[in-house]
Amino acid sequence: LLSLTGSNGGLCSTVDSCLDEPKNASQTFDLLYNNFLNHSQANRAPFGIHANAGWLLNAEAPFVKEGYLQ
């Protein structure tokens, strides 16, 4: 697994393990998109999004799925 960079600059092995969890759909999208850009500019391997299913399906944070689908 390649490490992701959270919005606070900290590294996380899976997107749901980042300590600075997104608070809305826009922050979720930015977290995923910025990591995709960083990866694609330095690496030709496919970009994997690794997370527990509960992160996307959390009823208390529906914005995560919304940001992911953007």
Tracing tokens 């697994």 back to the chain, one arrives at 1
pLDDT of residue 19: 83
Token couple for 4: 């992701």
**Tens of pLDDT along 6-37?**
988 899 999 999 888 899 999 999 999 999 99
Domain limits for position 32: 4-69
pLDDT of residue 11: 93
Name the domain count of the chain. Answer: 1
Euclidean distance between CA atoms 21 and 52, whole angstroms: 14
